[in-house]
Amino acid sequence: MVGAGGVRLMQGNEACVEGALAAGLRFFAGYPITPSTEIAELLAERLPQVGGAFIQMEDELASMGAVVGASLAGLKAMTATSGPGFSLKQENIGFAALAEVPCVIVDVQRVGPSTGMPTSPAQGDVMQARWGTHGDHPTVAFTPWSVSETFSLTVTCFNVAEELRTPVILLLDEVIGHMREKVVLPPPEAVTVVDRKKPAVPPGEGYSAYDPGDGDIPPLAAFGDGYRFHVTGLLHDRSGFPTNDPEEAAYLLNRICEKVERRRARLTMIESRDVHGADVVVVAYGCTARPASRAVRMAREAGIRAGLVRLITLWPFPREDVARLTAGARRILVPEMNLGQIVHEVESAVAGRIPVVHLGKVGGVLMTPEEIFEAVKGV
C-alpha cells in the first residue's frame, strides 16, 4: 500500500516511515538498532516500491555518510537510529551542518549511556541532539507525543531540512516508536512538501553552493546537474573551497547558526493548556507529556491551579514562549526521563524569576500521572 491515505492503526516508527515517504523521502541508509529497527525494515520494503534507494550500511557512521552523499546527489535522505548509533553518527551530522546538506536523523531514544537498556524508553539524548557534534553548529530537533504527531512532524523535519539546508533531528523514544495508535493519514495531495531551492542560473554562470546572495541560504544543485561544485567539511569561503581567512570562517559559522536562529519563531511548535492563572506550570515533552497532561487534569480536579506547556520544538529551544507561558506561575515543574536536561533550558528561559523543579526518572519505565501529580502537589 503506497501513499494511501485513510485511518490506520500503526506504531510510531511506522508513522515516521509514512511521514517520510509523504514528504518525498527517496534514500534511506541505516544500521539495525533497537528500538528504531522497524523504520529500516519498513523502508526496505517501501522505498523500492517508489523507486527509491534503501541500503543497510556496515555501521552507523557509514549510514550517516551515505545519507549526506545521497542528499548531495539530489535525493531526500534519512537515517534512523538510537542512542549508541546516534553517538556514532555525530561527526557526520556535524559535516551535514557545516556543508549545509539537508537530511533527517531519527533517534528513537532508549536508556543510556552505552548499551543501556535497549528496549526501554528514555529522554536522555536531548542534549546530545543539541551538542553531540563538536564545534558551534545549528540544531533543529522536534519531538512528538503521539503516533499521529510522529507522522506530521516527520513531514515537518524534511520540509525544514530542505528549506534551511541543514540536518534536522526527530527525537522519538521507545514508547512513541513502539506504541500503536489510530492515525488519520492525509491523502498525498494534502501534505505540504517543501523542496530545496535549486540554482537560478544555468551551469557555468556563476553558481556557488555557498554563496547565499541576498538571502542567507544558498541554493543547492545536485551532483550530476553540471554545476561541478566542491563540498568540504573544512571551513570554506563563499566559493565552497577551504579557507583560513578569519573573516570568511566567522562569516560562515555565524551564517549557518543564524539561519536557524533567525527562524526561531517560525520553527517553534509549542502547546499550552490552563496556563493563565496557574500556580504550577508543568513543562513536558515527548512521551512524558502524556502522563503530565493527565497529572495536570488530576491537579485541577483536586483544586490545584495547574497548567501544561508541551514542547514540540526542542531545538532551537523556544525560550521566549516558555517564558511567556509560564510568566504568571509560582512554580514550574519539568518532568523528563533523564536526570536533568531540558530543565536547564527552562531555568535559563525564566532567568531565575520562577523556581524550577525537576522531576527526573530513569530506569526505563514511563512516568505515571500519579508520580507527576504528587510532584505538582509537592511544589
Where do contacts with other proteins occur on this chain (CB under 8 A)?
2, 26-27, 29, 45, 48-49, 51, 53, 55, 57-59, 61-75, 77, 91-92, 95, 203, 222-234, 241-242
Which amino acid, residue 341?
Q
Contact 229, 240 (CB under 8 A): yes
Q: How far is the CB of 90 from other proteins (least distance, A)?
A: 11
Q: Name the minimum Å distance from CB 6 to other proteins.
A: 16
Distance in Å, CB of 233 to other proteins, minimum? 6
Closer residue to other proteins in complex, CB, 29/354: 29
HEC string for 312-351:
CEEECCCHHHHHHHCCCCCEEEEEECCCCCHHHHHHHHHC
Nearer to other proteins, 67 or 354 (CB): 67
CB of 64 to other proteins, least distance (A): 8
Least Cβ distance, residue 230 to other proteins (angstroms) = 5
- Alpha-carbon distance of 214 to 145, in angstroms, equals 38
Quick one: 148 or 232, whose CB is closer to other proteins? 232
Q: Which is nearer to other proteins, 7 or 134 (CB)?
A: 134
| Distance, CA of 88 to CA of 170 (rounded, Å) | 16
Q: How far is the CB of 196 from other proteins (least distance, A)?
A: 14
Which of 88/332 has CB closer to other proteins? 88
- Residue 95 or 158 having the CB closest to other proteins: 95
Contacts of 69 (CB under 8 A, 6+ apart): none
Work out how close the CB of 158 gets to other proteins at its nearest, in angstroms, rounded to a whole number: 16
Residue 7's alpha-carbon distances to 10, 16, 151, 183, in angstroms, are 10, 15, 13, 6
Residue 154 C-beta-side C-alpha neighbours within 13 Å:
33
Nearer to other proteins by C-beta: 252 or 334? 252
Residue bearing cell 514511563 = 366
Task: Give the integer Cα–Cα distance in Å for 69 and 50.
Answer: 20
Written as one string, the DSSP assignment of 32-95 is --TTTHHHHHHHHHHHHHTT-EEEE-SSHHHHHHHHHHHHHTT-EEEEEE-HHHHHHHHHHHHH
Report how far residue 47's alpha carbon sits from residue 70's, in angstroms, rounded to the nearest whole number.
Answer: 14
